[in-house]
Structure 1
């Protein structure tokens, strides 16, 4: 049996003047205050409260991931250079002589 709800629908529109600002948002905690829409003063006037002036560069979210990426690229570059060096005939002969000398001592 399907019964339709007779209760009035709740207003799901958030009240931006009292909504919490996420702590991770740039300029977190700073919300313009005033009497006009979006916290500004009357139309055409300057903001009446503190206003976010730009990005919050103190947030280091993702910095560790970027560092891992840079270190990984450096390691791949070093491995490539090492592979090129070890592929040379002179280096292969030197390593072969080193291994033969180590095995002949015992």
Structure 2
């Protein structure tokens, strides 16, 4: 008999990023200091830590699968897929940030 597959948990590490919507229109002016809340660098660091954590989890489960001590191979499959998706997201965000930086630098020339 097979055991049912557990639900996939929410992606963690990006909880510091707020929602984008009508509330964003009431944000302070560009010259105002936005000291409350989490800054972008902290949110980015937490996101990268989450990516590293998911990769470490997948690596640990891969070692267990290779040594024959892994009870449920589906755990490794889900962890590896989650790590792959989180890495793809981080790479896409990096590419978009570089493109935006290059566009801003092009405006100054």
- TM-score, structure 1 length as denominator? 0.30
Larger radius of gyration: 1
- TM-score, structure 2 length as denominator? 0.30
Higher RCO (CA 8 Å, separation ≥ 6 residues): 2
